[in-house]
């Protein structure tokens, strides 16, 4: 029964608490500078290119490049190991974390397949869509990982270190919900229609953060899979156009 419990604890966020390795305050400042550079200067969708009058790269190119830049800056500018911001190697995951990740991966794909069965039949019925579908899913998966890395790994880790769990998590979620990542809802001139989306995003991440005492929150990221696949399917049905895709 105890072994079975290890495989069920993840569904109520009962992960063993494992504190992240510490780092110097100066490193924290560099992490915040990385966040500011990535989100406020070049922008999550490279609005710096638009400001300079340059063509915006397509999503399939933009997302991997920005993610790679973030990883390089974390490792070599901030000088921290990825484990210090929550990216622990698989061998260091607990049985509960590994089991929850694999279960959520399976459940997310089953639920996704049921919800978008009609769309998936259209895609599988036309071999010409297969390559495009694989590209959209891959890019959306990278985009979801990038958001987790920047907002939970970089920003929230440092805010919690500075201010404690409650203020740090609240501030991180407010910036995630209303900051550069989703600001285009306001700039598009339709903020009223976006408020339900903002409320849902804020509450979902807030509950996820507060219910999980382990600051790594590694296994919870598998819960992003269904969200990413939903956006991928929506992009495909809109005749996915990489230069215009917003990748929410």
pLDDT tens sequence across 84-135:
898 888 888 888 888 888 888 888 888 878 887 887 888 888 888 888 888 8
> Residue 13 falls within a domain, yes or no?
no
Most confident of 50-54, 62-66, 104-108, 185-189: 62-66
| Contact predicate 23/80, CB 8 Å | yes
> Residue 145 falls within a domain, yes or no?
yes
Length of the chain: 248
Label residue 190 by pLDDT band (50, 70, 90).
low
Q: In the prediction, which pLDDT does 44 show?
A: 81
Assigned token pair, 196: 């339900």
Q: In the prediction, which pLDDT does 54 show?
A: 86
Most confident of 17-21, 22-26, 239-243: 22-26
Rounded mean pLDDT of 72-83?
Answer: 94
What DSSP state is assigned to residue 149?
I
> Residue 12 falls within a domain, yes or no?
no
Q: In the prediction, which pLDDT does 70 show?
A: 96
What DSSP state is assigned to residue 42?
S
> Residue 15 falls within a domain, yes or no?
no
Q: In the prediction, which pLDDT does 243 show?
A: 36
> Residue 3 falls within a domain, yes or no?
no
Checking if the pLDDT of 52 tops 80, the result is yes
Label residue 2 by pLDDT band (50, 70, 90).
low
As a whole number of angstroms, the distance between CA 18 and CA 148 comes to 19
Q: In the prediction, which pLDDT does 226 show?
A: 44
Checking if the pLDDT of 66 tops 50, the result is yes
> Residue 167 falls within a domain, yes or no?
yes
As a whole number of angstroms, the distance between CA 107 and CA 123 comes to 21
More confident residue, 38 or 134: 38
Rounded mean pLDDT of 229-247?
Answer: 43
Q: What is the domain range of residue 124?
A: 20-237
> Residue 11 falls within a domain, yes or no?
no
Q: In the prediction, which pLDDT does 29 show?
A: 96
Checking if the pLDDT of 215 tops 60, the result is no
More confident residue, 211 or 146: 146
Label residue 206 by pLDDT band (50, 70, 90).
low
Instruction: Please calculate the CA angle 226-232-234 and round it to the nearest 5 degrees.
Output: 105
Q: How many domains does the chain have?
A: 1
> Residue 204 falls within a domain, yes or no?
yes
Checking if the pLDDT of 238 tops 60, the result is no
Helix, strand, coil tally for the chain in percent (to 5) = 75, 0, 25
The mean pLDDT of the chain is: 76
Contacts of 232 (CB under 8 A, 6+ apart): 133, 136, 137, 139, 140
């Amino acid at each position: 029964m105890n072994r079975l419990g290890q495989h069920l604890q993840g569904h109520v966020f009962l992960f063993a608490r494992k504190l992240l390795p510490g780092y110097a305050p100066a490193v924290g400042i560099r992490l915040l500078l990385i966040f500011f550079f990535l989100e406020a200067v070049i922008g999550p969708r490279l609005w710096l290119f638009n400001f300079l009058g340059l063509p915006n790269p397509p999503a399939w190119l933009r997302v991997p490049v920005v993610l790679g830049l973030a990883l390089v800056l974390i490792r070599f500018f901030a000088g921290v190991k990825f484990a210090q911001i929550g990216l622990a190697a698989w061998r260091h995951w607990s049985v509960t974390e590994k089991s929850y990740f694999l279960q959520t991966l399976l459940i997310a794909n089953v639920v996704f397949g049921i919800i978008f069965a009609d769309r998936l039949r259209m895609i599988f019925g036309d071999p010409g869509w297969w390559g495009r579908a694989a590209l959209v899913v891959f890019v959306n998966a990278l985009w979801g990982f990038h958001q987790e890395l920047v907002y939970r790994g970089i920003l929230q880790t440092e805010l919690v270190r500075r201010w404690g769990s409650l203020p740090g998590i609240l501030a991180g979620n407010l910036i995630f919900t209303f900051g550069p990542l989703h600001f285009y809802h306001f700039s598009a001139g339709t903020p009223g229609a976006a408020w339900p989306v903002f409320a849902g995003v804020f509450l979902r991440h807030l509950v996820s953060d507060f219910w999980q005492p382990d600051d790594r929150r590694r296994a919870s990221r598998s819960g992003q899979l269904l969200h990413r696949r939903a956006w991928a399917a929506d992009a495909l049905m809109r005749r996915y156009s990489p230069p215009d895709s917003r990748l929410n």
